[in-house]
Amino acid sequence: MKDLIKKLPKAELHLHIEGTFEPELMFEIAKRNNLKIKYSTIDELKAAYDFNNLQEFLDLYYEACNVLITKKDFYDLTYAYLKRAKENNIVHVEIMFDPQTHTERGIKFSTVIEGIHQALIDGEKDFGISYKLIMSFLRHLSEEAAFTTLESAKPYKEIIDAIGLDSSEIGHPPSKFTRVFAEARNQGYFITAHAGEEAPSSYVWEAIKDLKVDRIDHGNKSLEDPNLIKYLAENRIALTVCPLSNLKLKVVNNLNNHPLKTMLDAGLFVTINSDDPAYFGGYLNDNFIQIQGALNLSENEIIQLARNSIEASLLEDKQKKVILDNFKF
């Protein structure tokens, strides 16, 4: 089974580039920028990766981002992830980045996106990994701030494919961002939003009805509402599920209780993703391997999950077909 998982071509659709910041690289970048990290050693830093909820993780994630200053920093962060992606036999990535995490502390939008984008270009050349870019708004900030961010993205319209919504979920429902997502849709962006990670199924409904999302990030709590399950299945709205993230952030107390199998059995269009792998103990293959073991998923289910990742991606139909035609397992 592990061999099958490693061999399967996969797309990663829910990946925060800032969440791939490995401690070794964090210390290296901090040093070259003459900045101090709160922790004196890698082990001390790693010991802090013990979260009780999403907010505890986000506090550390945003703090770690403080050492990212130059275009090269964003380049190195992204290129390091792409190397890992290649090792995981990922053939296509849809990377999320949070520009406000950086512009809020005085880094230029252009520095962030140009560093990330150059690494994606080089990664495609060096590893054959195709890519899309998802710009995500921070939901703990205002809708006005999201509008400003959308405006900053205008010169980069050709390289940003989708708009997302992330950060602290509870208390910041999708409806807070209805107008800015209407504008993003007007501008032609594909829409995705984190919903139903910690907050209830009503947040998933709002993402669908108010933001008119094309895809849902997480969506675990959708299972609370049979009407929502029916709606997601009938409309083939993909969910980008992140098992190890859910475990580390205590969305589930044990992978044996993870809702993925129930989602599959309910006919939902689910995919497996790593979310913030540097913090959650594993990249994409580890997510597949651990959830397969915990839920005793069959080979067919694993193959289906890998196929779903290609089908739910933003690739064109003919590009999907080329990849799927190679699924001879």
Cα–Cα distance measured from residue 175 to residue 246, given in angstroms and rounded to the nearest whole number: 24
Cβ partners under 8 Å of residue 5, min gap 6 = 285, 288, 289, 292, 302
Q: Which is nearer to ligand ADE, 139 or 320 (CB)?
A: 139
169 is catalytic: no
With tokens 């070259």, the residue in question is 32
Residue 19 interacting partner from ligand ADE, Zn ion, none (CB closer than 5 to 8 Å by kind):
ligand ADE
What is the total residue count of the chain? 329
Q: Which is nearer to Zn ion, 30 or 96 (CB)?
A: 96
Q: Which is nearer to Zn ion, 39 or 57 (CB)?
A: 57
With tokens 């409806």, the residue in question is 175
Helix (H, G, I), strand (E, B), or coil: what is residue 217? strand
CA 121, 124, 129: angle at the middle one, nearest 5?
A: 135
89 in the Ramachandran plot: left (φ > 0), alpha (ψ -120 to 50) or beta?
left
Task: Please report whether residue 245 would count as binding ligand ADE according to CB under 6 A.
Answer: yes
- Binding ligand ADE (rule: CB under 6 A), the pick from 10, 19, 131, 243 is 19
Other Cβ atoms closer than 10 A to 247: 22
Residues near ligand ADE (CB under 6 A), total: 11
Which listed residue (12, 18, 94, 197) is catalytic? 197
Residue 306 interacting partner from Zn ion, ligand ADE, none (CB closer than 5 to 8 Å by kind):
none
Cβ partners under 8 Å of residue 122, min gap 6 = 79
**Interaction mask 284-313, ligand ADE, x per CB under 6 A:** ------------------------------
Q: Which is nearer to ligand ADE, 91 or 138 (CB)?
A: 138
Q: Which is nearer to ligand ADE, 57 or 205 (CB)?
A: 57
CB of 298 to ligand ADE, least distance (A): 28
**95: amino acid identity, one letter:** I
Other Cβ atoms closer than 10 A to 268: 23
- Binding ligand ADE (rule: CB under 6 A), the pick from 10, 16, 215, 307 is 16
CB of 300 to Zn ion, least distance (A): 27
- Binding ligand ADE (rule: CB under 6 A), the pick from 197, 206, 210, 311 is 197
CB of 276 to ligand ADE, least distance (A): 5
Q: Do the beta carbons of residue 115 and residue 78 sit within 8 Å?
A: yes
Task: Please report whether residue 98 would count as binding Zn ion according to CB under 5 A.
Answer: no
- Binding Zn ion (rule: CB under 5 A), the pick from 18, 210, 275, 311 is 275
Q: Nearest-CA neighbor of 163 among 151, 203, 280, 272?
A: 151
Task: Please report whether residue 240 would count as binding ligand ADE according to CB under 6 A.
Answer: no
- Full DSSP string of 120-142: HHHHHHHH--EEEEEEEEETTS-
Q: Nearest-CA neighbor of 136 among 211, 210, 60?
A: 211
**127: amino acid identity, one letter:** F
Residue 73 interacting partner from ligand ADE, Zn ion, none (CB closer than 5 to 8 Å by kind):
none
CB of 88 to ligand ADE, least distance (A): 19
Q: Do the beta carbons of residue 15 and residue 93 sit within 8 Å?
A: yes
Q: Which residues bind ligand ADE (CB under 6 A)?
A: 16, 19, 54, 61, 166-167, 194, 197, 245, 275-276
Q: Which residues are catalytic?
A: 197
